[in-house]
Structure 1
């Protein structure tokens, strides 16, 4: 490998943004053909495993792909909480501004609050998707 940064280095740097570590169980919801495969690979590389679609046990993280037109965002977020541990969190992926399926930031904030979640921070990722981390408020965690 050359001394310049290649795709593997980019993936490693990107996973730090998501706060993922080896051994975490990540459930993926809302996948469709437009989902960003590079993001999916970053998640799998970071956890050293595959994403699960149906959880057989509690999951540490949910990777939720959401587009305007996918239904009610609050319902989608509440569904994402079903298999999530009390200390787990959701990475909500939505199309970036100007992309087909874009979800307005005000709708994200309102949806998070209504679902009993806190919208903590966004992460810049390449491609057509924006990433927002949602957590249970500290008072709701056990």
Structure 2
């Protein structure tokens, strides 16, 4: 970001930076990335890491995370299992951003499959966001735990 002559911020990082903002990514967050593959959107990944001012952590992190970015394709197996695995390190009340190929793209995930899998995994579906040319994001919330 740079400042305009009027003092307000000007977005200079392209559309992916706006997508990271729509995902609620903020500096200091610990974000775990699962399901990365060569077809994942690198611009979006970089924008998320820029937004949190750190690298995303992987599945071996072993500590609590504020959010999970889960890349999932129709060919990746059982969505419920992947969502349950994504909950392993997620802090209570944290969000899983399920990134799936957009409808009409190879390996797209039917939105009804997401709607059916989320409650089985103990998650609530809250919103969807357009995050890149080829990927859609669905926000899934884990229940808050009482300590």
TM-score by structure 1 length?
0.89
Aligned residues: 138
Q: In the alignment, is residue 118 of structure 1 matched against residue 112 of structure 2?
A: no
Cα distance in 2, alignment partners of residues 9 and 69 from structure 1: 30
C-alpha displacement of 1:6: 6.8
Match of 1:37 in 2: 42
Q: Decide whether aligned partners of structure 1 residues 112 and 28 sit closer, same or farther in structure 2, where only a CA change above 3 A counts.
A: same
Among 69, 80, 102, the residue aligned to 1:63? 69
Cα distance in 1, alignment partners of residues 66 and 11 from structure 2: 29
C-alpha displacement of 1:69: 1.3
Match of 1:107 in 2: 113
Runs (5+) with no aligned partner, structure 2: 5-9
Cα distance in 1, alignment partners of residues 135 and 111 from structure 2: 13
Secondary structure at 1:69 match in 2: helix
TM-score by structure 2 length?
0.87
Cα distance in 1, alignment partners of residues 65 and 42 from structure 2: 21
Secondary structure at 2:140 match in 1: strand
Runs (5+) with no aligned partner, structure 1: none
